């Protein structure tokens, strides 16, 4: 299995070899593509899933610092914390593979805490709106989480790169 994230079309595609298994609508960074620390951008290039977090947790489980808080997301909870960046349901933590581009130094994807994760239902998909992560619907992130392993390759493609 491997994953291709295509920023221009806001899609995540799951492949087994050359065969497309599934394609999901996602939301990447509102600030576009980029690798710098604190940029709020989605990093490009070759990555792997370094950690899978949240197996078996209920839909809408709230995570802070990659740990479940014991909260279950609701609109009432959102109203109490309107500026919170909600990381829900499952986390696939990414690590860059390209030294100087998305690994080590001021461009390290893992140190930037870039995830593929669930988000509130009211967050639109197909539109860049995240703070750098790749957001997915709950059912989609659970399906993806259950199909991939730690070490699965994830290629994040920008405007000038082919989606296939």
CATH label of the domain that carries residue 61:
2.40.440.10
> Is residue 123 in a domain?
yes
The Cα-based distances of 11 to 4, 14, 123, 140 in angstroms read 8, 10, 15, 12
- pTM here is 0.94
Number of domains in the chain: 1
152 domain residue, yes or no: yes
Task: Identify the CA nearest to 4 among candidates 56, 44, 59.
Answer: 44
Residue 162 lies in a domain: no
Residue 34 inside a domain? The answer is: yes
Domain presence at residue 163:
no
Residues contacting residue 86 through CB under 8 Å, at least 6 positions apart: 62, 73, 78, 119, 120, 123
- Cα angle for residues 3, 97, 159 (degrees, 5° grid): 55
Domain limits for position 53: 2-157
Place of tokens 């394609």: 23
pLDDT means per 10 residues, the chain with 164 residues, are: 97 98 98 95 98 98 97 95 93 97 96 97 95 97 98 91 52
């Amino acid at each position: 299995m491997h994953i291709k994230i295509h920023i221009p079309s806001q899609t995540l595609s799951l492949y087994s070899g050359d065969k497309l298994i599934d394609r999901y609508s996602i939301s990447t960074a509102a600030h576009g593509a980029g690798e710098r620390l604190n940029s709020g951008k989605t990093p490009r290039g070759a990555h792997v899933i370094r950690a899978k977090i949240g197996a078996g947790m209920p839909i809408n489980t709230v995570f802070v610092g990659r740990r479940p808080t014991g909260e279950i997301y609701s609109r009432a909870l959102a109203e109490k914390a309107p500026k919170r960046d909600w990381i829900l349901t499952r986390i696939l933590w990414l690590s860059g593979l390209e030294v100087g581009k998305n690994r080590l130094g001021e461009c390290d994807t893992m140190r930037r805490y870039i995830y593929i994760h669930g988000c509130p239902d009211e967050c639109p998909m197909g539109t860049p709106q995240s703070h750098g992560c790749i957001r997915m619907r709950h059912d989609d992130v659970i399906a993806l989480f259950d199909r991939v392993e730690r070490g699965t390759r994830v290629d994040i493609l920008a405007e000038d790169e082919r989606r296939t």
